[in-house]
């Protein structure tokens, strides 16, 4: 199957009310395992990929290593592969686009692209982030790949007090509209947990909405009822796997 067809198939999986579930992995072995278990697509998690190779999150793992890992994943499974690409490993739109082009050359058909300032503070202004998304879309069109650009806002993830999330809704909706106009394919709102607020985001944007299944998140059925089209697990699978690994070692040692 061609890369472009994989991208189209991946986009078709995003159905509001019937969300595609992405159980994020960090290497080719994990990709193969979930593919054999029946996954329809593979998604990496930046935190997990970094941690699995001894790096902290936040683009600390070298770009060249990320490209190698993605290349191994896409060579191992014949499924659509979307990559958590953080902030694109650059600030300037053209530089981000060049990096995404290399990612597509490694076989990726989708990216998560966040609006927080990686290595800095706060979020990129909507206009600046939109310019970055536009550059990525142009690069994808030049490559002939209908790249699924999952535009992530970190508004809710950065605000740990969930009681303040309702006050962030207006800005979130504005960012969703701006990112859609810039060429985004989806809108990712990690950290948003309230089913009512999730539903309001789904109603406010024409883009398929992605949530993250972090501890405390509502059940998948409730998120589906709210109109969610994609549910990711972020670093949770890595945490679970490493806890299991440590526990099995302790059991083997009789401790």
Percentage of the chain lying above the pLDDT 70 cut: 100
- The count of domains in the chain is 1
pLDDT digits (tens, 9 = 90+) for 15-61: 999 999 999 999 999 999 999 999 999 999 999 999 999 999 999 99
What mean pLDDT, rounded, does the chain reach? 97
Q: What's the confidence (pLDDT) of residue 32?
A: 98
Q: What's the confidence (pLDDT) of residue 1?
A: 87
Is the whole model's pTM more than 0.85, yes or no? yes
Question: Is the pLDDT at 95 greater than 90, yes or no?
Answer: yes
CATH of the domain at 216: 3.20.20.60
Q: What's the confidence (pLDDT) of residue 255?
A: 75
pLDDT digits (tens, 9 = 90+) for 116-136: 999 999 999 999 999 999 999
Confidence of residue 169 (pLDDT cuts 50, 70, 90): very high
Burial class (CB in 10 A: 0-12, 13-18, 19+), 41: buried
Q: What's the confidence (pLDDT) of residue 123?
A: 98
Please report the DSSP string for 16-28 in residue order: TTSPEEE--B-SH
Q: What's the confidence (pLDDT) of residue 136?
A: 98
**Residue range(s) defining the domain that contains residue 182:** 3-252
Q: What is the C-alpha to C-alpha distance for residues 17 and 232, in angstroms, rounded to an integer? A: 15
pLDDT digits (tens, 9 = 90+) for 187-209: 999 999 999 999 999 999 999 99
Q: What is the C-alpha to C-alpha distance for residues 99 and 48, in angstroms, rounded to an integer? A: 20
CA atoms within 13 A on the CB side of 63: 14
**Average confidence (pLDDT) over 144-150:** 98
Cβ atoms 82, 42 nearer than 8 A: yes
């Amino acid at each position: 199957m061609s890369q472009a067809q994989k991208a189209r198939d991946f986009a078709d999986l995003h159905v509001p009310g019937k969300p595609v579930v992405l159980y994020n992995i960090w290497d080719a072995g994990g990709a193969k395992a979930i593919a054999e278990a029946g996954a329809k697509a593979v998604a990496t998690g930046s935190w997990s990929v970094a941690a699995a190779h001894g790096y902290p999150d936040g683009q600390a793992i070298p770009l060249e290593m990320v490209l190698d890992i993605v290349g191994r994943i896409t060579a191992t499974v014949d499924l659509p592969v979307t990559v958590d690409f953080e902030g694109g490993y650059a600030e300037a739109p053209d530089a981000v686009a060049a990096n995404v082009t290399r990612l597509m050359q490694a076989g990726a058909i989708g990216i998560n692209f966040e609006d927080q300032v990686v290595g800095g503070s706060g979020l990129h202004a909507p206009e600046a982030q939109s310019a970055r998304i536009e550059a990525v879309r142009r690069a994808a069109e030049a490559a002939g790949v209908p790249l699924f650009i999952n535009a992530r806002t970190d508004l809710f993830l950065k605000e740990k007090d969930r009681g303040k999330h309702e006050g962030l809704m207006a800005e979130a909706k504005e960012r969703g509209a701006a990112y859609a106009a810039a060429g985004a394919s989806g809108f990712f709102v990690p950290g948003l947990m309230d089913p009512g607020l999730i539903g309001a985001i789904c109603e406010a944007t024409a883009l398929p909405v992605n949530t993250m299944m972090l501890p405390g998140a509502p059940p998948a059925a409730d998120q589906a009822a709210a109109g969610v089209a994609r549910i990711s697990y972020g670093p949770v699978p890595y945490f679970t796997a490493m806890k299991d690994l440590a526990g099995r070692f302790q059991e083997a040692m009789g401790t």
